[in-house]
Amino acid sequence: MKIPTVALVGRPNVGKSTIFNKLVGKKISIIEDTPGVTRDRIYADVNYNSYKFHLIDTGGIDVSKELFNDEIKIQAEIAIDEADIIVFIVDGNEELNQNDFVIRDYLKKSGKDVIVAVNKIDNKRREDNIYNFYELGFSKVIGISGEHNIGIGELLDLICSNFKEYEINYHPFFR
């Protein structure tokens, strides 16, 4: 059985690595407030209930002209091509910006299933901001907070909603 692959994409400093670490259940990705810390793809497996999937963390996609941004975009494009599902992480503290719309356009062209995860939704005022992100044009939008572990279970449920349950085949010797 092929194990599905999920890629986390978004602009810099929206919390992709924090969410990656939460979904994986341990600190693998480096978390900094400085843009550009994650440049390469980082892979790990996620086990959730009776589901298993590969997860890819990517660097923040920025349309500025800096050379390393082109390298990050290439790495993110590879992750998108490999993925069965994309989790498009946006910042619920901020308005949509040019980078969000460039990423949206690319994801629409990819034809992949996209979940918009509005991160940093950790109080009532911010919960109301979630509706602004439907402007991106994706039907699956969920509010989460990677830092405060809010909505992570619901995000996992949404990610796994179309996956087949993964059965572990034990060797008879070990029963």
Query: How many angstroms separate the CA atoms of 170 and 20, rounded?
Result: 28
Q: What is the pTM of this model?
A: 0.86
To the nearest 10°, report the CA torsion of 155, 161, 163, 166: 80
Are the C-beta atoms of residues 99 and 66 closer than 8 Å to each other?
no
Of residues 54, 12, 17, 19, the one with CA closest to residue 154: 19
What digits encode the pLDDT tens for the residues 104-122?
999 999 999 999 999 999 8
Per residue in 14-49, pLDDT tens? 999 899 999 998 787 555 444 444 456 789 999 999
* Amino acid 75: pLDDT: 77
C-alpha 66: how far from its chain's center? 23
Q: How far apart are CA 13 and CA 24, in angstroms?
A: 19
